[in-house]
């Protein structure tokens, strides 16, 4: 299977701090890839480099066979990259429904009218239909997390990047979200998911990479990766949970 | 299945002025089912769902009817009122237009400019130069002045868009000052002392004074209505959706495909063009322009900011409320000299302390009223889909 996403020697430094160090990674179409690593390992930076929120100092980013290294974030999203932010960024003064319309119209390149139907269906899918007309700023944390997901889905992405979408949720809430993510993957969307809640991640991920100091230190089948002594060392007990 | 035209551009004006009770109010999707999504195993509760998207509210329909009546009254004013009210209403009309434009720029696109007088003055001077040097008819010159302002605003935007927040505000002001200094150096434009329209140009609008006043009054009304309708149409369109998204989170809007820079540029240029037309019109009324009056930050920006901020920034109703309040205070306090400015300042302070989102912002949150609805309400038709959240 061809790679949907390829990072080729991508580096980024802030002063002396290397947040991404010669990062090379290929993600096949249709796979669910999990990303773990300690705080400050460069996981979110990797997402920002993929989506174009941050430009690399060196290296190339390819998406769907195209070199997107020079493209700004909005152009990459129109090619089919959807993302959720670690801290939800809802459009607080718009309704939930309109939040989705933005994704469907601008990144999904749909007409406004065809977006109405599409977004209503996505809302129903992720369980936000009942709050469709509420201001996004008034949502609970779980609803905000769902909105991040729904908004990215509204753009019909080929690649969905999830940044700690389970963070801050109760076990029960997280489980419900995992089910939704599993159904998104089942429909053929490629997923790259950063998550500290390892058991949630492992229930979906088919492949796992571990980051530390801006580098990949392990890559492979999730349970084999978790058993790797280097990973155990980095995680110091977190992985054993 | 009734499919109605997309609620953009063309529907803005009719909605506002005379569509109460008309049927072009919403896009309707009957039985847009979700059964074609049956492959998903996670939501067994899904049933076919019908919905429509509503754009108007009851209060907005009543308001547009009232607005229609008001507009007809105002249009007929020259036949039953004398010059005094006509002149005042013309002034109110062009200030309303300026306020709507500044609100679009600052309240929606987040471009807090303190330099819109640059385009007022530019519009004014363009009209004077075109009519005097090239014999262009003043009404054509109005449109060309707008075009000129829009063209000039592009390189200006390329410079000031590099600045953020307060630096942007100061930057726009500096641009206006540069325009003023530049014009003062041009002898053919009257240099520092100013420039008057010749009687021949004035007569080309209409031969006698009475007709001329009427024509100019109607132009003022038309400008206010056209600008309000245009701003409303922009806000109801996909551009409006993008603008609100950018205002709430620039980063998230980029990750959802919104070109934030181009959206802002579009708004800046359109606003500058319209401001240029208004500026040309203002000095066609005044018949005389000077660098100091054309590029006056107090008259063309500070007063306008007062109206928008006191009325309610980021709402369509705010500029109207603010404009009415400003003129009400001005007429009421006209005889009290400098007390007028002191009271104006006091009103500003009280409103900013008591209602930070302006008078209309307070009304909106207190009564949930919206006279210019730009939101899109998803209405699930009864008996279809799932009634409540699955959480």
At A24, give phi and psi (nearest 5°): -130, 125
Q: Where are the alpha helices (DSSP H) in A13-162?
A: 43-51, 73-78, 96-106, 112-126, 141-154
Q: Do A183 and B40 touch (CB under 8 A)?
A: yes
Determine the Cα–Cα distance for residues B83 and B217; give it in Å rounded to an integer.
Answer: 10
Determine the Cα–Cα distance for residues B149 and B132; give it in Å rounded to an integer.
Answer: 18
* Predicted local confidence at residue B19, as pLDDT: 33
Cβ contacts of B159 within 8 Å, gap of 6 or more: B171, B175
The predicted-structure confidence for A140-163, as pLDDT tens digits, reads as follows: 999 999 999 999 999 999 999 999
Does the pLDDT value for residue B9 go beyond 70? no
Residues of B in contact with A83 (CB under 8 A): 255
Q: Measure CB to CB from residue B42 to each of A83, A133, A179 and give the nearest one.
A: A179
* Predicted local confidence at residue B210, as pLDDT: 87
Does the pLDDT value for residue B49 go beyond 80? no
| Contact status of B255 with chain A (Cβ, < 8 Å) | yes
Partners of A26 in the β-ladder: A6
Does the pLDDT value for residue B271 go beyond 60? yes
Q: Measure CB to CB from residue A102 to each of B37, B256, B377 and give the nearest one.
A: B256
Determine the Cα–Cα distance for residues B152 and B276; give it in Å rounded to an integer.
Answer: 10
Spatial CA neighbour of A45 closest among A32, A34, A35, A31: A35
The whole-number average pLDDT for the span A212-217 is 91
- Binned at pLDDT 50, 70 and 90, residue B47 comes out as low
Determine the Cα–Cα distance for residues B145 and B153; give it in Å rounded to an integer.
Answer: 12
Does the pLDDT value for residue B377 go beyond 80? yes
* Predicted local confidence at residue B387, as pLDDT: 45
Contact B341, B293 (CB under 8 A): no
Gap from B107 CA to chain A (nearest CA, Å): 13
DSSP B108: I
User: Lowest-pLDDT range, B163-172, B243-252, B382-391?
Assistant: B382-391
Instruction: Give the pair of three-digit tokens for residue B289.
Output: 């322009």
Contact A72, B254 (CB under 8 A): yes
* Predicted local confidence at residue B16, as pLDDT: 32
Determine the Cα–Cα distance for residues B73 and B57; give it in Å rounded to an integer.
Answer: 25
Q: By CA distance, what is A173's nearest residue in B?
A: B391
DSSP B8: S
Q: Which of A178-182, B108-112, B150-154 has the highest mean pLDDT?
A: B150-154
Does the pLDDT value for residue B45 go beyond 70? no
Residues of A in contact with B37 (CB under 8 A): 121, 125
Q: Do A182 and B42 touch (CB under 8 A)?
A: yes
* Predicted local confidence at residue B344, as pLDDT: 85
Spatial CA neighbour of B1 closest among B27, B35, B36: B27
The predicted-structure confidence for A113-124, as pLDDT tens digits, reads as follows: 899 999 999 999
Contact A53, B251 (CB under 8 A): yes
The whole-number average pLDDT for the span B315-330 is 94
Helices (runs of H) and strands (runs of E) counted in chain A: 9, 10
Q: By CA distance, what is A153's nearest residue in B?
A: B256
Contact B17, B68 (CB under 8 A): yes
Q: By CA distance, what is A48's nearest residue in B?
A: B255
Q: Do A89 and B256 touch (CB under 8 A)?
A: no
* Predicted local confidence at residue A237, as pLDDT: 53
The helix or strand, by DSSP H or E, that contains position B307, with its residue range, turns out to be helix B303-311
The two most distant CA atoms of chain A are separated, in Å, by 54
Residue of B251, B256, B265, B380 for testing the chain A interface, max A β-carbons within 10 Å: B256
Long-range (24+ apart) CB contacts under 8 A made by B70-76 are B71/B17, B71/B221, B71/B225, B74/B221, B75/B218, B75/B221
Whole-complex ipTM: 0.89
Q: Is A179 helix (H, G, I), strand (E, B) or coil?
A: helix
Gap from A228 CA to chain B (nearest CA, Å): 34
Write down the residue that tokens 């132009």 correspond to.
Answer: B219
Determine the Cα–Cα distance for residues B244 and B241; give it in Å rounded to an integer.
Answer: 5
The predicted-structure confidence for B145-174, as pLDDT tens digits, reads as follows: 999 999 999 999 999 999 988 999 999 999
Q: Do B249 and A90 touch (CB under 8 A)?
A: yes
* Predicted local confidence at residue B182, as pLDDT: 95
* Predicted local confidence at residue A236, as pLDDT: 61
Does the pLDDT value for residue B42 go beyond 50? no
* Predicted local confidence at residue B28, as pLDDT: 43
Residues of B in contact with A119 (CB under 8 A): 378
Does the pLDDT value for residue A46 go beyond 70? yes
How do the residues of chain B divide into helix, strand and coil, expressed in percent and rounded to 5?
70, 5, 30
Domain boundaries, chain B: 77-296
* Predicted local confidence at residue B48, as pLDDT: 60
Does the pLDDT value for residue B64 go beyond 70? yes
Q: Measure CB to CB from residue A117 to each of B29, B249, B377 and give the nearest one.
A: B29
Cα-only R_g, chain A: 17
Q: Which domains does chain A have, with CATH numbers?
A: 1-80+158-241 (3.40.50.300), 89-157 (no CATH)
Determine the Cα–Cα distance for residues B86 and B227; give it in Å rounded to an integer.
Answer: 19
Cβ contacts of B283 within 8 Å, gap of 6 or more: B123, B124, B127, B128, B289, B294
Residues of B in contact with A94 (CB under 8 A): 241, 244-245, 248, 375
Spatial CA neighbour of B123 closest among B106, B102, B147: B147
Mean per-residue pLDDT over chain B, rounded: 84
How do the residues of chain A divide into helix, strand and coil, expressed in percent and rounded to 5?
40, 25, 35
Determine the Cα–Cα distance for residues B92 and B81; give it in Å rounded to an integer.
Answer: 16
């Amino acid at each position: 299977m061809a790679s949907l996403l390829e990072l080729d020697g991508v580096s980024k430094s802030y002063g002396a701090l290397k947040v991404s160090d010669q990062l090379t990674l290929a993600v096949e179409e249709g796979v669910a890839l999990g990303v773990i690593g300690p705080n400050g390992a460069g996981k979110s930076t990797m997402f920002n480099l993929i989506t174009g929120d941050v430009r690399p100092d060196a290296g190339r980013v390819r998406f769907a066979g195209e070199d997107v290294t020079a493209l700004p974030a909005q152009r990459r999203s129109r090619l089919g990259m959807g993302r959720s932010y670690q801290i939800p960024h809802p459009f607080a003064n718009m309704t939930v429904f309109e939040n989705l319309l933005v994704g469907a119209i601008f990144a999904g390149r749909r007409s406004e009218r065809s977006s109405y139907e599409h977004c209503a269906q996505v809302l129903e899918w992720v369980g936000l239909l009942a709050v469709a007309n509420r201001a996004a700023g008034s949502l609970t944390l779980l609803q905000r997390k769902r909105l991040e997901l729904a908004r990215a889905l509204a753009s019909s992405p080929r690649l969905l990047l999830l940044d700690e979408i389970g963070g801050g949720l109760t076990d029960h809430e997280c489980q419900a979200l995992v089910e939704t993510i599993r159904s998104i993957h089942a429909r053929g969307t490629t997923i790259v998911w950063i998550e500290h809640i390892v058991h949630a991640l492992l229930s979906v991920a088919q492949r796992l990479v571990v980051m530390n100091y801006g580098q990949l230190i392990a890559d492979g089948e999730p349970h084999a990766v978790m058993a790797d002594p280097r990973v155990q060392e980095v995680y110091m007990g977190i992985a054993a949970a | 299945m009734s499919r109605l035209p997309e609620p953009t551009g063309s529907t803005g004006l009719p909605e506002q002025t005379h569509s109460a009770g008309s049927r072009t109010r919403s896009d309707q999707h009957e039985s847009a089912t979700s059964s074609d999504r049956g492959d998903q195993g996670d939501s067994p509760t899904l049933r076919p769902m019908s919905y429509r998207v509503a754009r108007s509210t009851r209060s907005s329909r009543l308001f547009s009817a009232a607005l229609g009546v008001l507009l007809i009254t105002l249009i007929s004013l020259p036949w039953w009122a004398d010059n005094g009210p006509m002149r005042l209403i013309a002034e109110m009309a062009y200030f309303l237009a300026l306020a709507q434009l500044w609100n679009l720029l600052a309240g929606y696109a987040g471009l807090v400019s303190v330099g819109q007088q640059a385009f007022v003055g530019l519009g004014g001077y363009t009209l004077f130069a075109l009519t005097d040097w090239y014999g262009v008819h003043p009404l054509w010159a109005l449109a060309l002045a707008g075009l000129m302002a829009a063209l000039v605003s592009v390189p200006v935007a390329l410079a000031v868009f590099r600045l953020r927040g307060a630096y942007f505000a100061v930057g726009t002001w500096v641009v206006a000052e540069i325009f003023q200094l530049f014009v003062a150096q041009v002898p053919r434009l009257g240099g520092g002392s100013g420039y008057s329209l010749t009687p021949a140009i004035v007569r080309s609008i209409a031969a006698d004074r009475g007709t001329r006043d009427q024509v100019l009054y109607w132009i003022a009304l038309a400008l206010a209505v056209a600008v309000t309708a245009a701003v409303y149409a922009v806000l109801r369109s996909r551009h409006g959706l993008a603008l609100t998204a950018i205002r709430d989170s620039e980063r998230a809007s980029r990750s959802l495909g919104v070109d934030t820079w181009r959206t802002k540029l579009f708004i800046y240029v359109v606003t500058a063009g319209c401001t240029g037309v208004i500026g040309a019109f203002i000095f066609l009324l005044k018949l005389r322009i000077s660098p100091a009056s054309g590029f006056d930050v107090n008259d063309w920006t500070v007063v306008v900011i007062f109206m928008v901020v006191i009325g309610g920034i980021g709402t369509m109703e705010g500029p109207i409320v603010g404009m009415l309040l400003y003129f009400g205070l001005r007429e009421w306090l006209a005889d009290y000299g400098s007390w007028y400015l002191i009271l104006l300042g006091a009103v500003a302070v009280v409103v900013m302390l008591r209602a930070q989102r302006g008078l209309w912002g307070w009304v909106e949150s207190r009564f949930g009223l919206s006279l210019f609805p730009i939101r899109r309400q998803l209405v699930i038709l009864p008996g279809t889909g799932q009634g409540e959240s699955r959480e």
